[in-house]
Amino acid sequence: MSSSNNTIKLKNLAALMSISVATLLSLVKALAFFYTGSLSVLSSMVDSLADVISSLITYIAVRISNKPLNERHRYGYGKAEAVSALLQSAFIAGSAGFILYDGIKRFIYPIIVEQTAVGMAIMCFSLFSTLLLVIFQRHVVKKTNSKAIDADSAHYTVDILSNFSVILSLLVVRYLQWQWFDVLTALLIAFYLSANALRLAYDALNEITDAEVDDNTKKHIINIIQTVANVKGYHDLRTRVAGAHMFIEIHLELDGNLSLFTTHAIADEVEHKIIAAFPQAQVIIHQDPYGICENRLDNQIKTL
């Protein structure tokens, strides 16, 4: 099986698993809320319902991003994953708003939490299931660099903390009778979800608006360029990311007396070394005579 097919299958499997787990957890948490009346359990259930929708969006985005290049989309469909992450952030923010509203209402009109033992058992099951899913998702992200799966995994990582805090809340209510602690836990989860939604939205918008790759990645690319013999310099290096793919454009500065065949061979060496370091990269190289005076992108950016 080719590396590309392997990547597609892993991403599809991860997306399907997250849908299955989110659906199962929504059902068991609904049962837990029915028995306990706990707001923290309800907040976790709402989050799981949002997970079902988010995971469905992720699955659709992964399927779209895996579509091959065509005449109309010569860069592919990788940004579908960033759109998916942006939509997920909206659902997370929405669920946080619902929890905040209900939490404030319960401070005014308290509800007694009961059957905490049943609730704890169900939340422990949820915690264990989510942990297994996140471990698998991190493995898939490491293999595929999928933005959509990464966003989904970040959400479920928050769920692990959320489930743990709900269990703690039920323990406190059961043994200390602090009913207010349940509401406080739910509100803290809501604020944490809001912060996570902002981070996901920020990362997704960066990709959609063609932000540069991180500084470490860019330094690595520059180091590769500088290791190739006969390269006298470079300029107008720019990068962007779309899903699992990175697009790199470079202007190489070479001896103007070299033949076209020689400069082409040098550019090929730079391209192959970059792709060896970043297998999902697509590299475009323009060759310039060293010392030529021209209106460069680097100069335009510095004057802005």
Structure tokens of 197?
Answer: 């939604």
Domain limit, last residue, from 185, 208, 231: 208
Q: How far is CA 208 from CA 128, 147, 212, in A?
A: 34, 12, 11
Section 261-290 average pLDDT: 93
CATH number at residue 42: 1.20.1510.10
Residue 293 shares a structural domain with residue 228:
yes
Q: Which of 172-176, 239-243, 260-264, 291-295 has the lowest mean pLDDT?
A: 172-176
Structure tokens of 61?
Answer: 């985005």
Q: How far is CA 72 from CA 75, 77, 88, 165, 267, in A?
A: 9, 10, 27, 48, 28
pLDDT, tens digit, 9 for 90 and up, residues 68-119: 778 888 788 888 878 888 887 887 788 778 777 766 766 666 555 555 677 7
Q: How far is CA 149 from CA 58, 60, 247, 264, in A?
A: 7, 11, 20, 38
Domain limit, last residue, from 184, 208, 232: 208
41 has a pLDDT exceeding 60: yes
Strand partners, 144: none
Residue 229 shares a structural domain with residue 199:
no
Residue 180 shares a structural domain with residue 255:
no
Residue 100 shares a structural domain with residue 19:
yes
Residue 142 shares a structural domain with residue 42:
yes
State the residue range of the domain holding 89.
Answer: 3-208
Candidates 164, 163, 183; CA nearest to 173 is 183
Section 45-66 average pLDDT: 78
Residue 236 shares a structural domain with residue 196:
no
pLDDT at 2: 54
Identify which of 19-23, 97-101, 156-160 has the greatest average pLDDT: 19-23
Residue 178 shares a structural domain with residue 37:
yes
pLDDT at 273: 95
CATH number at residue 268: 3.30.70.1350
Domain limit, last residue, from 147, 182, 208: 208
pLDDT at 225: 95
Please provide the DSSP assignment of 171-237 as one string: HHHHHH--HHHHHHHHHHHHHHHHHHHHHHHHHHHHHHTTPPPPHHHHHHHHHHHHHSTT--EEEEE
Phi and psi for 246 in degrees, rounded to 5?
-115, 135
pLDDT at 1: 43
pLDDT at 269: 95
C-alpha 22/C-alpha 159 separation (Å) is 10
Count of structural domains, the chain: 2
End-to-end CA distance of the chain: 49
Residue 190 shares a structural domain with residue 237:
no
289 has a pLDDT exceeding 80: yes
Strand partners, 286: 251
pLDDT, tens digit, 9 for 90 and up, residues 196-237: 788 888 888 988 888 899 899 999 999 999 999 999 999 999
Residue 122 shares a structural domain with residue 147:
yes
Residue 55 shares a structural domain with residue 204:
yes
65: buried, middle or exposed (CB in 10 Å: 19+, 13-18, 0-12)? buried
- The answer to whether the CB of 181 falls within 8 A of the CB of 169 is yes
Residue 38 shares a structural domain with residue 147:
yes
Residue 148 shares a structural domain with residue 49:
yes
Q: Give the chain's mean pLDDT.
A: 81
Phi and psi for 291 in degrees, rounded to 5?
90, -5
